Structures are given as structure tokens and as C-alpha cells.
Structure 1
Amino acid sequence: MLGRSSVIARNFSQSMVRYGGHGGIPGENLPFSLQNKYRITALFTVGCVLGFGAPFLIVRHQLLKK
């Protein structure tokens, strides 16, 4: 039964790419361009630093508040 459902899922995903109009090109449906690798690296770094550091800065702010 598992084999049959995997075939159905694969066929569905292939038909969605074929008829969905996206063409299956990697990165085509992303909200940013993948052409400039330095910009991607900078955005990724800023996103990771803010995402990881924000909770620590918020806790620090709350602890220092009077």
C-alpha cells in the first residue's frame, strides 16, 4: 500500500509542476533574487543574527528595566 501511495504522490507533484505554470525552475517562486550571492549571504546573516539574538536582547531589556 505504501508503494502505491508514493507513486500517486509523485505523479500529483509532477503534474502540479507541469500545469502550475512555475516550470520547476529552482528559486522561481522565492520573494528574492538568487542572482547576487553576496546579497543572499548578507540577508541570511542578518536574518540569523536577528532571529537568534532578539530573544536574548529582549530578556536583557526586561531584566534591566526598573
Structure 2
Amino acid sequence: MLGRSSVIARNFSQSMVRFSGHGGVPGENLPFGLTNKYRITALFTIGCVLGFGSPFLIVRHQLLKK
């Protein structure tokens, strides 16, 4: 039974890629382009720094408030 359901799921996912308008091209549905590697690196770095550092900055701000 498990083998049959995995075959059905695999066939469904393959048909979704085949019939979707994107054609299965990696990165085509992203909100930014992948052609400029320096811009991607800058966006990734900014996103990681803000995402990881903002909780620490918020806690520091709250602890320094009078």
C-alpha cells in the first residue's frame, strides 16, 4: 500500500511540473533575478544579518531603556 501511494504522489508532482506555466525552470518563480551573483550575495547577506541580528538588537534596546 505504501509503494502504491508513493507512485501516485510522484506521478502527481511530475505532472504538476510538466503542466505548470513555469516549465520547471529553477528560480523562475522567485521575486528577484538570479543573473547577478553579486546582487544575490548582497541580498542574502543583508537578509541573514537582519534576520539573525534583529532579535539581539531588540533585546539590547529593551534592556537599555529607562
Alpha-carbon distance, 1:37 to partner = 0.5
What is the deviation of 1:56? 0.3
Count of aligned pairs between the two proteins = 66
Q: TM-score, normalised by structure 1?
A: 0.95
Give the C-alpha shift of residue 20 in structure 1.
Answer: 1.3
Unaligned runs of at least 5 residues, structure 2: none
Paired position in structure 2 for 1:51: 51
> RMSD value over aligned CA atoms?
0.7
Question: Are 2:19 and 1:3 aligned?
Answer: no
Please show how residues 26-37 of structure 1 align to structure 2 within 5 Å: 26-37=26-37
| 1:24, distance to aligned residue in structure 2 (A) | 0.5
Which ranges in structure 1 are unaligned for 5 or more consecutive residues? none
Secondary structure of 2:24's aligned partner: coil
Deviation string, structure 1 residues 10-61 (Cα, Å, up to 9, x no partner): 1101111111111000001111100001100000000000000000000000
Q: Percent identity?
A: 89
